Amino acid sequence: MCGRYSITTAPEAMRHLFDVETGLNLEPRWNMAPTQAAPVIKLMTEGPARGHRVLAMMRWGLVPSWAKDTDIGVKMINARAETVDEKPAFRGAYRYRRCVIPADGFYEWRTEGKVKQPYRVVRRDRAPFGFAGLWELWEGTGEGSALETFTIVTTDATESIAHIHHRMPVMLFDRDAFATWMGPDKDAAGQLMLPCDPGLVEAYPVDRRVGNVRNDDAGLVEPITPKPKPPKPMQGSLF
DNA sequence: CCAGACGTTGTT
DNA sequence: GTCTGG
DNA sequence: CCAGACGTTGTT
DNA sequence: GTCTGG
């Protein structure tokens, strides 16, 4: 699945790749976590700019419009591609509010013996990409409580990373895919919800510090070389 | 009809 | 074990 | 997703 | 809001 990712791409490169203007001052994020505000590309749904692409900061964890409070969002950080067209929590967003979340890697944890080892999944060419996402507007009760939130669509893991984890986010690799995903044709968008070509991605182990959301620095994306096990002390004496 | 859920992952 | 915070 | 808390009373 | 369970 996808519960942590990175987006360190320079704003200028993001504007170019996603064809969207932004006045936002985007700092690199090596450790984006649920409930945090992340840059998301959507189409304006109303007003004179209707249909235009915009980059907005949204909270990760979709809060449906009918929710009494925003707590439910924590449980909605991912949406299964297989059921996104049916589930009450996602159906409306899937039909009308598909979005693209800029990223340049995501993290998956694998339990290895006693430790949970994090891996970072990236494109083999190290280029940024987009996650297929859905967004919602939650207006709450009072004035000024409006909140935009998003979720990341997941599918089966592609073969090259399946040894780490059996699910992965739906990845969009180029401008055509971004346009189709956000476009009006729901069924065309649905065709994109597949595991990616295994040749396009790879995974490598990273520092376990990424587990703590308070850590957010460039060291988190550096490959680590697994520590060799300390040699066992000699049992008995040879002499 | 009303009440209550509405989600995913991983593990057993 | 389960919930909350980030 | 993981990490870290998980509680109350009274006193300062 | 809308679906499911009873």
**Residue A155: band (very low, low, confident or very high) from pLDDT cuts 50, 70, 90:** very high
Residue with tokens 């290895």, as numbered in its chain: A112
pLDDT at A170 over 60: yes
Query: For A119-131, what is the mean pLDDT?
Result: 98
User: Does A69 reside within a domain?
Assistant: yes
pLDDT at A140 over 90: no
pLDDT at A115 over 60: yes
User: Does A12 reside within a domain?
Assistant: yes
Catalytic: A196? no
pLDDT at A78: 97
Catalytic residue chosen out of the listed positions A99, A108, A136, A148: A108
Q: Which two tokens stand for residue A201?
A: 């991605």
Range of the domain at A127: 5-221
Contacts of A231 (CB under 8 A, 6+ apart): none
- Count of structural domains within chain A: 1
pLDDT at A100: 98
Q: How far apart are CA A76 and CA A154, in angstroms?
A: 12
Does the CB of A88 sit below 7 A from strand E? yes
User: Does A233 reside within a domain?
Assistant: no
Catalytic residue chosen out of the listed positions A2, A136, A148, A196: A2
Query: For A132-136, what is the mean pLDDT?
Result: 98
**Residue A231: band (very low, low, confident or very high) from pLDDT cuts 50, 70, 90:** low
Question: Residue A129 is part of a domain; what is its CATH number?
Answer: 3.90.1680.10
The distance (Å) linking the CA of A211 with the C1' of D7 is: 27
Query: For A77-91, what is the mean pLDDT?
Result: 95
Query: For A61-87, what is the mean pLDDT?
Result: 94
Q: Which of A66, A182, A82, A68 is nearest to A134 (CA)?
A: A182
| ipTM score of complex | 0.86
User: Does A199 reside within a domain?
Assistant: yes
User: Does A149 reside within a domain?
Assistant: yes
Among the ranges given (A14-18, A120-124, A139-143), the one the predictor scored with the smallest mean pLDDT? A139-143
User: Does A35 reside within a domain?
Assistant: yes
Residue with tokens 């995501």, as numbered in its chain: A106
Catalytic: A108? yes
Average pLDDT, chain A: 93
Query: For A141-169, what is the mean pLDDT?
Result: 92
User: Does A24 reside within a domain?
Assistant: yes
